[in-house]
Structure 1
Amino acid sequence: MKAVVLDEERRLALQEVPDPTPGKGQTLVEVRAAGVNYADVLIREGRYPQAPPLPFVPGSEIAGETPEGRRVIAFVRADGGGYAEKAVADADWLFDLPERASFEEGAAFLLAFLTAWIPLTRQVRIAPGARVLVTAAAGGVGSAGVQVARALGAEVVGAVGSADKAERVRALGASGAVTYEEVGGLEPFDVILDQVGGELFSAGVKLLRPLGTIIGIGFAGGAWQPLDPALLVGRNVSVAGFYLARFMKLRPEVVHEAATELLGRWANDEITPVVGATYPLAEADEALRLVAERRSTGKVVLLP
């Protein structure tokens, strides 16, 4: 089969590799679409916290068909392997793709929506009318965060890197969309879901209402800066963090429960994955570059 391989020099190339063999409790999936995530960018650049050994086939989430013809979405987890014509998934992390959904939408769903849903329903409680800020709101996780917060009854503002992305965020249900330079002039929020990090995360702490929480889920804009607890105590606010890959290992039952909740909401048309761009496997390098340079909107998806 063909797969995208990241070699020891961190170059990506489409190569012929042996078909994967499912072990006990695993299922072989004919991959129809594979989601591109920022974690793949970090792995490619050697900045991922738990970097896999090279050579490596990237890709942690897929949509496709089992040998029995079952349409599924799945995590392939830490072993990677999603950027390929075939992949092996643990049966525990295999879910039915909704009947009306495309494979492209399926590959754009699990990671993005779980990364937004779990912190917004388990780490904080959003009451109707709460104000929520979502950063990187035009991307895969950001577009999920906007929809999830809206579904929970919040008033949502999206922050984006450039003004041309603002209308996309409003179309998802946000009441407002601003650039990062404009964030400091906004009224305070009850919850901030941030995947930018750097100076924006530090500024966000000062944009919280009393009892508000900022949730760090990424650092696409730079590493998190040291934070003085006195600032939190004095403002009566809190900081939370969420990392799905590790959480799946520590609390898999919560992730399963959340996935079931999300699939139900998708089936009821309350939320919808946003596919911003598709590329063939041979153009995986360009797909990753699009995400790395923060030029993408919605989820970028590879098609074998």
Structure 2
Amino acid sequence: MKAVVLDDERRLELREWPEPEVGDGQALVTVRAAGVNYADVLIREGRYPQPPQLPYVPGSEIAGELEDGRRVLAFVRTQGGGYAERAAAEREWLFDLPEHATFAEGAAFLLAFLTAWIPLTRQVSVRKGSRVLVTAAAGGVGSAGVQVARALGAEVVGAVGSEAKLDVVRRLGAEAVTYDAIGELEPFDVILDQVGGALHAGAVRQLRPLGTVVGIGYAGGAWQPVDPALLVGRNVAAAGFYLGRFMKLRADVVRAAAGELLERWAAGDLAPVVGATFPLEEAGAALALVAERRSTGKVVLLP
């Protein structure tokens, strides 16, 4: 079969690759779409905290068909392999793709929406009238965060890095601003932040009393230390969420959250935003689009 391989020199190449070995508790999926995530960028650049052994087929999130024709979306967490024509997926992380959904939408859904849904429903309490800021709001996770917060009844502001992305956020029903305007806004109850760096550290000062900033990414640079005295003095909190490790520690919570999200998607309350699609042979261009923060919505590969 054909797969995109990250070799020992971190070059991406479409090549012939052995068929996946399907172990106990796994199923063979014919991949129709594979989600491109920022973690894939970090792996390629050698900056991922738990790097895989190279050579390696990237891709942890897929949508496709089982041998019996069942349409599914799935994680391929144990060994990667999503950027390929076929992949082995753990059965505990297989879910039915809604009838109305495309495969590209399926590959754009789980990781983005779980990364927003679990923090906003388990770590903090977002309810009707809450005021929520989502950074990197035009991207895959950001657009999910805007939708989730709105579905929970919040007043939502989405922040982006350029004016060209403002309309993406507005189409999701949220107020949209660029990062340089955040300091002029009224404080928030919750800030869901993917940018990191100085923006994350400064977000503490943009919280209402009892508010929380939740760090879920650092696309704009490593997180800066936050003085606990500042948190105590302002009666605010700093939290963090990393889906990959949480799936290992609390798989039951993640599966329950996935079920909740799929019900809301089927009901029309939520929907993934697919911003761009690429064939497998253009995986390098797809990753560059994400790495350079030029993408909107989720970027998806189509084998």
TM-score, normalised to structure 1, is: 0.99
Equivalent residue number for residue 194 of structure 1: 193
Q: Tell me the secondary structure at the aligned position of residue 261 of structure 2.
A: helix
Equivalent residue number for residue 203 of structure 1: 202
- Distance (whole Å) between structure 2 residues aligned to residue 16 and residue 125 of structure 1: 48
**Paired letter, 2:298:** K
Residues 8-23 of structure 1: matches in 2 within 5 Å?
Answer: 8-23=8-23
* 1:163, distance to aligned residue in structure 2 (A): 0.5
- Distance (whole Å) between structure 2 residues aligned to residue 61 and residue 225 of structure 1: 30
- Distance (whole Å) between structure 1 residues aligned to residue 292 and residue 29 of structure 2: 31
Q: Tell me the secondary structure at the aligned position of residue 79 of structure 1.
A: coil
Question: What does the per-residue CA deviation read over 1:108-134, in whole Å, with 9 as the maximum and x for residues that have no partner?
Answer: 000000000000000001120110000
* 1:173, distance to aligned residue in structure 2 (A): 1.4
* 1:78, distance to aligned residue in structure 2 (A): 3.7
Equivalent residue number for residue 224 of structure 2: 225
Question: What does the per-residue CA deviation read over 1:16-50, in whole Å, with 9 as the maximum and x for residues that have no partner?
Answer: 01111211110000000000000000000000000
Question: What does the per-residue CA deviation read over 1:247-296, in whole Å, with 9 as the maximum and x for residues that have no partner?
Answer: 00000000000000000000000000000000000000000000000000
- Distance (whole Å) between structure 2 residues aligned to residue 230 and residue 57 of structure 1: 45
Equivalent residue number for residue 260 of structure 1: 259
* Deviating 4+ runs (over 2 angstroms): none
Residues 61-72 of structure 1: matches in 2 within 5 Å?
Answer: 61-72=61-72
- Distance (whole Å) between structure 2 residues aligned to residue 257 and residue 127 of structure 1: 20
Equivalent residue number for residue 276 of structure 2: 277
- Distance (whole Å) between structure 2 residues aligned to residue 240 and residue 142 of structure 1: 17
- Distance (whole Å) between structure 2 residues aligned to residue 164 and residue 156 of structure 1: 19
**Paired letter, 1:46:** G
- Distance (whole Å) between structure 2 residues aligned to residue 235 and residue 264 of structure 1: 38
Equivalent residue number for residue 151 of structure 1: 151
Equivalent residue number for residue 92 of structure 1: 92
- Distance (whole Å) between structure 1 residues aligned to residue 18 and residue 55 of structure 2: 14
**Paired letter, 1:186:** L
* 1:227, distance to aligned residue in structure 2 (A): 1.1
Equivalent residue number for residue 113 of structure 1: 113
* 1:236, distance to aligned residue in structure 2 (A): 0.1
**Paired letter, 1:85:** E
Q: Identity of paired residues, percent?
A: 76
Unaligned runs of 5+ in 2: none
Q: Tell me the secondary structure at the aligned position of residue 210 of structure 1.
A: strand
Residues 11-50 of structure 1: matches in 2 within 5 Å?
Answer: 11-50=11-50
Q: Tell me the secondary structure at the aligned position of residue 193 of structure 1.
A: strand
Q: Which deviates further from its counterpart, 263-272 or 18-27?
A: 18-27
* 1:195, distance to aligned residue in structure 2 (A): 0.4
- Distance (whole Å) between structure 1 residues aligned to residue 79 and residue 181 of structure 2: 40
Equivalent residue number for residue 297 of structure 1: 296
Residues 107-186 of structure 1: matches in 2 within 5 Å?
Answer: 107-174=107-174, 176-186=175-185
**Paired letter, 2:170:** R
Q: Tell me the secondary structure at the aligned position of residue 4 of structure 2.
A: strand
**Paired letter, 1:209:** R
Equivalent residue number for residue 3 of structure 1: 3
